[in-house]
Chains A and B, each alone.
Chain A
């Protein structure tokens, strides 16, 4: 087609007037998905067709509704939409009902197997579900009708004072370690030389990079009575030197733990 001089161009591309849509104009397939998205499935589509014509769900003219449903499905096919399988299953069901209705009445004696009754039941149920969703959406809710009234509060962070541990508890804790160590003493074959100094270094090394260590973990019960006694001596030495401190988490039965004395406090 030769554009007439008075005709306005469709568009200007790099200064040149374009009068004709390009032959290979690309329409993204997503553009049409909107149509399919408008329905939540075959039941929704059927309900739409029924309600649009103010029909009673319980008494739908199957032949007519089937025709309309198929028209719609054909339309979607024309748009080359990937039809969800559910739509085709429904199409098959409608076709079955329609064919059954053509049979003489006597043929549909068993109401329980009547696919029409079953379809009506499902339509009603889905209609109720839609109704419930709408009712839910209408309820006044937070962030739309109401906001929780709240004043911003910033409470200072509190460091809970940890309970003091007295020597008695320390010894009680040690006693349980000792008991467990006893069970290993008979297996002891050779005595390794154990020095308190060395053990003090080991305790400090174990505390490196850790905020605290459970008291029991500082003992190796496999070393036997002598070993754990050395460990306790080392801990007591370090406590005396105020290099480490001993504490207890809250609660009477909570384990004791050892931590390094904070730098500024030392």
Chain B
């Protein structure tokens, strides 16, 4: 039974163009009373096991479950791309990192830490990629935008939540 359900889930995920949450997967079985979320979860576990000898794996990121090629095959899969994988500039990565680790954060705070003005194009590019969004406004003069990351950002970097971000070294006390 579970093997069959695992294959059905595989078919659903294969034909999806974005990660699907447990709830969204549940909607596919609205008419099957026997298939509740617990059953789906168990079947997903089985699907993950069934994928072990395959070139892809089942992962759960912020938005839900998706099938993706395993990292060991990246050197082959990447040959589809005519250009090299996008390499992000340091300013892009540092700005994104500050938004990810220090959110909610304003532009001025990013500038304060990096010691240089933030290029507006960088923020715009991050917003256009739907990795960064405006969470609100800080109640200080000028009401600057408070920036934070999105689910899409977590999905892209294979993260389930912000807690999965790598731990950074703590700031040490100053020796005077």
Which positions in A face B, CB cutoff 8 Å? 40-44, 56, 58-59, 84, 86, 90, 111, 114, 116-117, 120-122, 124-126, 128-151, 153
Contacts and interface: CB of A to CB of B under 8 A. Distances in A.
Contacts of B93: 133-134, 136-137
B45 to A, nearest CB: 18
B175 A59 contact: yes
Contact of B14 (A125, A133, A135, A151): A151
Interface stretch (B25-33, B35-43, B62-70, B136-144): B62-70
B15 A90 contact: no
A41 B67 CA distance: 41
A8 B25 CA distance: 74
A150 B17 contact: yes
Contacts of A140: 71, 157-158
Nearest to A56: B175
A136 B157 contact: yes
Given A128-B168, A132-B168, A142-B68, A120 B158 contact: no
A133 B156 contact: no
Interface in B133-176: 155-159, 165-166, 168-169, 171-176
A134 to B, nearest CB: 8
Nearest to B51: A149
Given A41-B115, A132-B101, A133-B94, A149 B171 contact: no
Interface string B53-92: 0001001000000111111001001100100011010110
Given A136-B165, A145-B74, A146-B71, 11 more contacts: A40-B90, A40-B91, A58-B174, A84-B116, A117-B176, A129-B98, A133-B97, A135-B166, A144-B78, A149-B66, A151-B15
B115 A133 contact: no
